[in-house]
Structure 1
Amino acid sequence: MTTTELTGKVAIVTGAGRNIGRAIALALAEGGASVVVNARSKRAEADAVARAVEALGGKALVHIGDVADAAAVQAMVDAAVEQFGRLDILVNNAALRREKPFAEMDYAEWREILDVTLDGAFHCTKACLAALRKSGTGTIVNIGGLSAHTGARDRAHVVTAKAGIIGFTRALAHDLADDGITVNCVVPGLIGTPRPKDKPEPAHHLTHQTITDERGKPEDVAAMVRFLCGPAARYINGQAIHANGGAYLGA
């Protein structure tokens, strides 16, 4: 691995076992960062990402744990600092995306989405804060969602959680500015990712289209995350930046 803009940095990427999370972990590794690969339960996927990081010449640590569990998150951060001696980057990517009409949704189903997507970002940020402060150039990138800006049928829990991530981003940018920590949100839209046969493409994808009629790739989102984690992006703070091919053009 040649010297690049993230050399010497250490990153935690939650939900990094596949799709966008995997692409982010690899992009940060290509930038020179050591990467903690987090997954909720699928160790085989996380181990494969770690091997891919190492194939790039980077260093990786796998940590299996649910970001909705504060104790598990603290254990992950402790392991990262023990292994690598520091922490500079947190990418809050872990999320659940389900579809169900609001009238049929019970509170447990509502709470499950918020627990992982929104509370998980809270737990991870709190656990990482001391180490990010010591970094001097700490970076938090939260991963948003297109439907938080457009709305969507059968996704009240997901839309609410992802809208909360936008508010969380803006609030943290203010709270952590004095610590030299930037906080931004990257909002993917219409990204082509592998899906199980029993889980079709989200219905709201069918009501939107990109300017070019092409779906994005996880790597398109990962490239923006890598940029925000680098030295050239230090003046960008508190922003929600869309990577959606023009599917949504709002502010």
Structure 2
Amino acid sequence: MSLPLHGKVALVTGAGKNIGRAIALTLARDGATILVNGRVDKAAVDGVVGEIKAAGGNAIAAMGDVSDPAVAPRLAAEAEKQLGGIDILVSNAGLRRQTSFLDMSFEEWREILSVALDGAFLLGKAFVPQMVAKGQGGAFVAMSGISTHVGTPNRCHVSASKSGLEGLMRALAVELAPHRITCNALSPGAIDTTRAASAGPMPANRINRPIPLKRFGTVDEIAAMVRLLVGPEGTFITGQTIHVNGGEFLT
């Protein structure tokens, strides 16, 4: 039997570690060729590419800051030349900061929004035309987060960027439906990841809020949901925000 994603090409941004890495490995395991994106840590990106190839898959590094308007068109041109374009776009790249609203500068506000929200817009503008041209449908998944739904202090810029992502996916789900391109947001809860120093400690209201399943989620559980959304089983799911949080937030 052929692998369910055989012949598909996926771009996963922020894929050098944590959730992005798990998504890249999961999609590659099921047959997709992966463009592994990272902003500056080429060693981490090359490591993921190496893992995929060692397991018998196909992957190439695709370095660049997705908030830079020049990057997405360059990556799209490379994908078109080398792989014939993409079928799956996973906008996972994002920055986390903890700064109170009263102390937050406009520069920091824009920095956070530029990666998660502007980045998804720029990626969509560059890569969705490839999906349309292929005429085989496609999938666009943007990574949101529980913070925007529960209200987390000192992260209003992160919450705003993720709320914007969810709105973008709902609008594109309707607009791109004639092309059979599904668009969804995935909102993880507390996931066991390695936090960058810039993210600071986990906010107190996250630590004190109970998770009914009494554990953190894993990156593989998030990757499995992405795999569902972008695979043949997910073609009737669009315009949704999918929550994976152990019951911490109930819709």
The normalised TM-score by structure 2 is 0.96
Farther-moved stretch of structure 1 (108-117 vs 135-144): 135-144
Distance 2:196 2:139 in 1: 33
The residue aligned with 2:240 is 239
The alpha-carbon deviation at position 202 of structure 1 amounts to 3.8
Supply the AA of the counterpart residue of 1:244: N
Distance 2:42 2:205 in 1: 30
Q: Superposed, which structure 2 residues align to 1:154-193 within 5 Å?
A: 154-193=154-193
The alpha-carbon deviation at position 208 of structure 1 amounts to 2.5
The alpha-carbon deviation at position 223 of structure 1 amounts to 0.2
What are the Cα deviations for residues 24-56 of structure 1, in whole angstroms up to 9, with x where unaligned? Answer: 000100111000000011000000010111122
Supply the AA of the counterpart residue of 1:34: T
Q: Is the 8 A contact 1:147 1:204 kept in 2?
A: no
The alpha-carbon deviation at position 3 of structure 1 amounts to 2.6
SS state of the match for residue 70, structure 1? coil
Q: Is the 8 A contact 2:153 2:203 kept in 1?
A: no
Aligned CA RMSD, in angstroms, stands at 1.3
The alpha-carbon deviation at position 228 of structure 1 amounts to 0.7
Supply the AA of the counterpart residue of 1:92: S
The alpha-carbon deviation at position 5 of structure 1 amounts to 0.8
The alpha-carbon deviation at position 197 of structure 1 amounts to 6.2
The residue aligned with 1:112 is 111
Distance 2:245 2:7 in 1: 31
The alpha-carbon deviation at position 224 of structure 1 amounts to 0.3
**Aligned CA distance change for structure 1 residues 196 and 149 (closer, same or farther; 3 Å):** closer
Q: Is the 8 A contact 2:152 2:203 kept in 1?
A: no
The residue aligned with 2:58 is 59
Structure 1 stretches of 4+ moved >4 Å = none
SS state of the match for residue 111, structure 1? helix
Task: Identify unmatched segments of 5+ residues in structure 1.
Answer: none
SS state of the match for residue 125, structure 2? helix
Q: Superposed, which structure 2 residues align to 1:1-251 within 5 Å?
A: 3-135=2-134, 136-196=136-196, 199-250=200-251
The alpha-carbon deviation at position 174 of structure 1 amounts to 0.8
The alpha-carbon deviation at position 204 of structure 1 amounts to 4.0
SS state of the match for residue 73, structure 1? helix
Task: Identify unmatched segments of 5+ residues in structure 2.
Answer: none
SS state of the match for residue 36, structure 1? strand
Distance 1:205 1:18 in 2: 22
The alpha-carbon deviation at position 196 of structure 1 amounts to 4.7
Supply the AA of the counterpart residue of 2:121: F
Farther-moved stretch of structure 1 (55-64 vs 105-114): 55-64
Q: Is the 8 A contact 1:211 1:247 kept in 2?
A: yes
Farther-moved stretch of structure 1 (128-137 vs 239-248): 128-137
The normalised TM-score by structure 1 is 0.96
Farther-moved stretch of structure 1 (5-14 vs 132-141): 132-141
**Aligned CA distance change for structure 1 residues 182 and 98 (closer, same or farther; 3 Å):** same
Alignment coverage as a number of residue pairs: 249
Supply the AA of the counterpart residue of 1:57: G
Distance 1:97 1:82 in 2: 34
Give percent identity, aligned residues only. 45
Distance 2:206 2:52 in 1: 31
